Structure 1
């Protein structure tokens, strides 16, 4: 979308508010009834019907140019004609309405930085964009490469617009335009931009990653991949290291860099004692989504899941003490794949070969617990390719090849870490002590696991260290911690079969399957 087309798009808007400061955006949001100001300074909004992402309403515009590059088993096509018809209807919807515009950037590395424009009808979502993406010098010649248009008040008509419902998230990857409507959940803005970057970055030799990153005082960088509940945020928030970012990064031949400039943290059961960095980041300028609050003292109740368990806090990374504001780091020395294994059969830590790394990366494994969803009576294996399948336009193997290429080139060690259960499955075993997991991560980061003796697990072919400082030796090999060895084998083979079934979907090379 050219600058003139964007000008035409907003031509008949009532007022165009461009790059307002935080205080003015908060003021506008409160004045317009979009949210309320809490005692701790945060702006609280309720997103209504949609309190999380809506994957069934997300589409990619199909065209001859990109068709063969897209992982269509994971993405739904949308016609170019229907996309433009919907775009014109949005343009008509915005006539004589106030519009908020954020102009900024994504990708902290100057070599890959891309100008971004986010057009919204709500002030709080413009604030969200300002706090989550990168800010920088903006002049009159600013020309966005990526454009997001977010109109929650516009509800699609599936019969007319060919959408799945009133909500829609549609990505035109070819022209780098994203349109979002019918949902007020701000995470759709963040994740649709991430999806677009996952499409365009591999063409520049950059490996896009759904992970957190931190660094020590010698620029030794570490990456943490993991699905929800595996401890990604907790383990990367290390007081002895500096946070680069908590969710989205790229890895180029120069090092790693944050795609964003902010954090979008879950805050269910948040406490100052357990997660002081996130707790203290919730202040003026922070947006809280769907958190219950006291009408008397205007204080949030982080333990309540009245609206959703997916309560969120959005704030810039500079709200975290000693964060790496530049958003860049060196090549990672270590990568951790975190899995909360409720079967209790994966070791607390295992060192992976490059082929195993590709296998477990494509798997993106964790497990759901009995009782968390209707019908789940025992642990259930859950797979999300590359630890972020909903955000992958390209087939998983494209990203796995980039992982292999970077790891080989920069000699990175990769570890599989089980943050879940030991001594038995969920219900009979116990969750591994967080202090043990922290000791494991610390030992790997310091290089203490390079020279210890390893043994091979015969079921998963994983290399397990026989010794790790600060961790009882009897729990390092999971089978040793089970009283019923036969039951261990049954659960282990059951999980192994789940891995094999999942891998069969991807037509992987024999050396990786082996």
Structure 2
């Protein structure tokens, strides 16, 4: 049973004329405009700026070190502990701060589209636009049989912590208390902290119910064939899962239960830097009244968003409900996936465009979560850098990574899902020499995987990475399927491939406790083909 050290004092906040409960989006937008929180664009979207913080603050994220979770959390740089005493102090200070506000905005909803596994959520905001965001991103309140107490998000961006007094790293804090079922946020206006905090909560709660929580997009075909798309930012996860011939289940967060796949959210939080109608028409058309645009430059005269202008940040975002996508699946649930796609944008140009993975290789690459950061994306990066994010979502995993990987392996085996690694990055050489994989070819490869056309395809084993490469794929030139054949300098290819292979192995050292067959499912570093290099 849940402890109640504080006797739920936030109920004090929900009494009085300053409480605006479950306002419709139209009224919340009116409030936002009246309060000077944002402006309307020519498309009718609500455009806002988040000030100092234009992205998440991972160094300011904490989990309260409570007795019931102390031995379960994978403590470290991602999951920093905060003492119960520090949390209680912050909690009380935030409540006293909010009690002085003339208006507080409260909305109720859920996380988890499957009624069997829904988590009720209550969101308390001091900004009206934050409440619009919560209304659009979480599942709107409706009929539910759950008797579970809600998880409450209390967001107070204007309250700043005192690190010397409150035990935080800065004035900003995002704190999860599993015993009190509270997410406490302060010192940042970035709305994505609300969304990702609840995802972290679900990543703790769902595995305890034997449900794999996943940072991925999902869609389903006319025959009920479900597909999952894992990938870090820039790999094409949203673009490639938005298939006009398939129904979108969701674009970012899902659970995999004994019933099948379900979306955790009720909306989309799409990156919109360099957004264009030609490349991403579904996202473009989804941006209208009710959408929240974060940190997008808007022409002061015409009111038109300029998605190529990164004056404020490259992390520009659009938040809108799932129903803004024409081919979104209404119930946001589907059967067990028959196809799983791991997306990577390899800027070194050495990973194959598509590979068929064994279960062990799938677990290895799931734990690795590889892609590349390109020059210019961050200050100080002058050439591509290998990036690894465990399970394609390490900032949001409260439990040990092996928990999620083992569940994935079990489900792949139980439901006979085919797994593919697809490189949407460079071919014929590294970034600056080779060229980016043609999107049409990538779509053809994914289409072949989804339609089962690679099941019986003849394959060859890559000499460096041990991956199984199809010799042919409909709609793709044969020579493109083997990366070495696209390089003019074969020795340069082998050196670059071996260098990346060692990076994989170095990263995987932290998973030394994984079974040997998983650890050996990575690159082949000492074969006759590579030894001379």
Q: TM-score, normalised by structure 2?
A: 0.94
Instruction: State the alpha-carbon separation in 2 of the partners of residues 11 and 359 from structure 1.
Output: 48
More deviation in 169-178 or 190-199? 169-178
Note the aligned Cα RMSD (angstroms): 1.6
Measure, in 1, the Cα distance between the counterparts of 2:143 and 2:84.
Answer: 31
Report whether the alignment pairs 1:41 with 2:44. yes
- 1:131 equivalent among 108, 132, 136: 136
The aligned residue for residue 363 of structure 1 is 368
1:155-174: CA deviation from partner (whole Å, max 9, x where unpaired): 11111111111111011123
What secondary structure sits across from 1:69 in the alignment? coil
SS of the aligned residue for 1:17 comes to strand
Secondary structure of the corresponding residue to residue 455 of structure 2: coil
User: How far 1:65 sits from its partner (Å)?
Assistant: 2.0
Could you tell me which of 260, 266, 271 is aligned with 1:261? 266
Q: 1:488 is matched with which residue?
A: 493
Judge conservation of contact 2:10–2:95 (CA < 8 Å) in 1: no
Shift of 1:144: 4.0
- Structure 1: where are the runs of 5+ without partners? none
Map of 1:100-499 to 2, 5 A cutoff? 100-137=105-142, 144-499=149-504
Deviation, 1:413, is 0.4
Structure 2: runs of 5+ lacking an equivalent: 521-533
Query: In structure 2, which of residues 67, 72, 75 is the aligned counterpart of residue 72 of structure 1?
Result: 75
Q: Which residue of 2 aligns with 1:26?
A: 29
Distance 1:349 1:11, change over 3 A: closer
1:513 aligns with 2:516: no
Deviation, structure 1 residue 176: 2.3
Query: Following TM superposition, by how much is the alpha carbon of 1:4 offset from its aligned partner in structure 2, in angstroms?
Result: 6.9
How much does 1:372 deviate?
3.2
SS in 1 for 2:200: helix
Deviations, residues 201-250 of structure 1 (Å, cap 9, x unaligned): 00001000000000111111100000000000110011111111000000
3-state SS in 1 of match to 2:115: coil
Distance apart, 1:138 and its partner CA: 6.9
Counterparts of 2:279 and 2:517 in 1: how far apart (Å)?
42
For residue 64 of structure 2, the aligned residue among 61, 65, 68 is 61
Q: Which moved more, 1:73-82 or 1:371-380?
A: 371-380
Shift of 1:51: 0.5
Question: Would you say the 8 A contact 1:57–1:164 is kept in 2?
Answer: yes
**1:159-206 CA-partner distances (Å, limit 9, x unpaired):** 111111111101112332100011010000000000010011000010
> Number of residue pairs matched?
513
Deviation string 1:278-322 (CA, Å, 9 cap, x unpaired) is 111111110011111112121111111010011110000000002
Q: Flag the 1:335–1:158 CA change in 2: closer, same or farther, 3 A.
A: same
Using the alignment, how far apart are the partners of 2:374 and 2:313 within structure 1?
18
Q: Which residue of 1 aligns with 2:523?
A: none
Check 1:303–1:377 CA distance in 2 against 1; reply closer, same or farther (3 A cut).
closer
Between the aligned partners of 1:142 and 1:17, the Cα distance in structure 2 is 24
2-structure distance, mates of 1:216, 1:488: 38
CA shift digits 1:7-29 (9 cap, x unpaired): 63415765111100111100111
C-alpha separation in 2, matches of 1:12 and 1:435: 56
Deviations 1:418-473 (A, max 9, x none): 00011111111111100000000000001000011000112111000000000010
Give the TM-score of the pair, scaled to structure 1: 0.97
